[in-house]
Amino acid sequence: MLMIKKHRGRRVIVLSELAMDARQIGLALEAFDKVYGRYPDSSTIAPVLKASGTRLLLGNSSSNAIFRQLMVTGIVKDESIFSADTGAAIQPDNAFKTDETMLAHRECAFAYIPGFDSTCDWGTPLAFGPIVPGTTTLDFRIYGGKAFVLRRDMSVIAYPVTKAGKLSYNGLDLLDPRQPFWHGKAPDVKWPK
């Protein structure tokens, strides 16, 4: 995602770090899909445990828990792609050998929408952020009132965030079941903890 900023009185285009991180998450999801036949969700926990031999807890109660599957498989080797520089977030420490340290509380800034694979509609949102840690609210203060959405086509698009912390797309909230990519069903969003 390109953003325009002023530097020494001139407009410069910069790539947002959060947009680059979202793209990295997308690439990891694609790599995971090639091995497990879908993006990580509750149905891939058992195969990941078996293949990886890990004794770490894997779950589906939060995006932190589901993204752990990308780490124990070795597809992602750095926690920092899941974070954002929010005032309440903690910087990832890349200590992920224990249940207490792998994508610990407030180390993840992306919400995740499980239940999809690489055959879903191209425009389907898969992850978005930054989220105010411990909430279901987008942080509109950080990126000029924008949040970044990773879509199935691996594009990362900035959408406006309302002051109430909701993402606006096509005049509706992004998570509204009336959005065409949800096909009338509310998405099962896994929020970061």
Q: Is residue 130 reached through a cis peptide bond, with omega within 30 degrees of 0 on the bond before it?
A: yes
Output 126 or 81, whichever has higher pLDDT: 126
List, in order, residues 6 or more apart from 23 with CB less than 8 Å away: 150, 154, 156
What are phi and psi for residue 35, nearest 5 degrees?
A: -90, -45
The answer to whether residue 166 scores a pLDDT higher than 50 is: yes
CA nearest neighbour of 16 among 158, 165, 154: 158
pLDDT recorded at residue 13: 37
Q: What is the model's pLDDT at position 93?
A: 61
By C-alpha distance, which of 102, 85, 81 is closest to 22?
81
Q: What percent of the chain has pLDDT over 90?
A: 52
Quick check: helix, strand or coil at residue 61? coil
User: What pTM does this model have?
Assistant: 0.87
Residue predicted with more confidence, 95 or 74? 74
Return the residue matching tokens 């997308």. Answer: 26
Q: pLDDT class for 184, splitting at 50, 70, 90? A: very high
- Give the residue-averaged pLDDT of 168-185: 92
Q: pLDDT tens for residues 130-160? A: 887 777 888 877 778 888 999 999 999 988 8
The answer to whether 135 and 129 are in contact (CB under 8 A) is no
Confidence tier at 177 by pLDDT (50, 70, 90)? very high
State which amino acid sits at residue 68: R
Residue 5, SS3 per DSSP? strand
